[in-house]
Amino acid sequence: MERFIQHISNTLSISDHHLEMVLGKLVEKHFAKKEHLLYFENYANELYFTLKGCVRTYVSDYNGVEHNISFSIENWWSGDLQSFINRTPAICNIQVLEDTTVLAINQANWDFLIKEVPEFVSYTRVLFRNKMFSQQNRIVQNLSYTAEERYNFFLDEYPDVAQRIPQKHIASYLGITPEFLNMIRSKRNRIDSTLYS
């Protein structure tokens, strides 16, 4: 909880009273490694702020192949926004990759905060905006760069994520197979080691 207070205070200034209102609507929940927070075609009733642990959001294609859309570690939100906001069946699955603690907010509480707490409106506007920008950047990257370049960008941008999740999930996020990611990595290692010889 302390972590979330820190986080929202860093984003914008909020009155103590309003902060209390927000905190009152968040519920701490625990999930064991591999548990699902949401399954495809269910309704997303909650969004989640990660306090400790790691969450992945993914879709399954018509061949049953999973594609990771995003990861959220500490201080990041996750959830199927499209389902949550439009009240439509989820297109995403959401799963925990480690034992994880989140703050959950349900739709009723969300709507309440949007109505009653102007800072919450600003806060979510910033969140959505940043999400939109990062999504556009990802689209551009997918169009402009090779898998190897995208992998390097990923390591630069999310070093703390890259260190704690299995390679196969990174591959899936990048849109390549684990085997090919491995080829990229072993090529990097060969080059790296020649730097020391």
Partner DNA sequence: CGGTCTCTTGACGGAGTTCAAAGCTAGTGG
Partner DNA sequence: CCACTAGCTTTGAACTCCGTCAAGAGACCG
Q: Which residues bind its own copies (CB under 8 A)?
A: 59, 61-62, 65, 67, 69, 81-82, 85, 91, 125, 128-129, 131-133, 135-136, 138-140, 142-145, 172, 175
Within 25-117, residue ranges assigned H as helices are 81-86, 107-116
| Phi and psi at residue 127, to the nearest 5° | -60, -50
Pick from 68, 87, 88: which is nearest to 170 by CA? 68
Of the residues 81, 104, 147, 155, which one makes contact with DNA according to CB under 7 A:
147
- Per the CB < 8 A criterion, the answer to whether 40 and 111 are in contact is no
168 is a site residue for DNA (CB under 7 A): yes
Q: Which does 179 bind (CB under 5 to 8 A by kind): DNA, its own copies, none?
A: DNA
Measured from the CB atom, the residue of 62 and 196 that comes closer to its own copies is: 62
Please pick, from the candidates 112, 127, 182, 188, the single residue that binds DNA as defined by CB under 7 A: 182
CB of 191 vs its own copies, minimal distance in Å: 20
If the CB atoms of residues 26 and 176 are measured against DNA, the closer one turns out to be 176
Given its own copies, DNA, none, residue 185, with its beta carbon under 5 to 8 Å by kind, binds: DNA
Stretch that binds DNA, among 3-11, 76-84, 108-116, 145-153 (CB under 7 A): 145-153
Cα within 13 Å of Cα(62), Cβ side:
0
In angstroms, the CA 9 to CA 76 distance is: 14
Q: Is 146 in the site for DNA (CB under 7 A)?
A: yes
Burial class of 156 by CB neighbour count within 10 A (0 to 12, 13 to 18, 19+): exposed
Query: Do residues 24 and 1 lie in contact, with contact meaning Cβ atoms separated by under 8 Å?
Result: no
Is 176 an interacting residue with respect to DNA (CB under 7 A)? yes
| Residue 186 interacting entry, from DNA, its own copies, none, C-beta within 5 to 8 Å by type | DNA
What six digits make up the tokens of 83? 């389902």
Residue 177, CA atoms < 13 Å, CB-side half-sphere? 3
Q: Exactly one of 11, 82, 148, 188 binds DNA (CB under 7 A); which one?
A: 148
Q: Which is nearer to DNA, 106 or 182 (CB)?
A: 182
d(CA 48, CA 78): 5
**Chain positions contacting DNA, by CB under 7 A:** 146-148, 166-168, 175-180, 182-183, 185-186
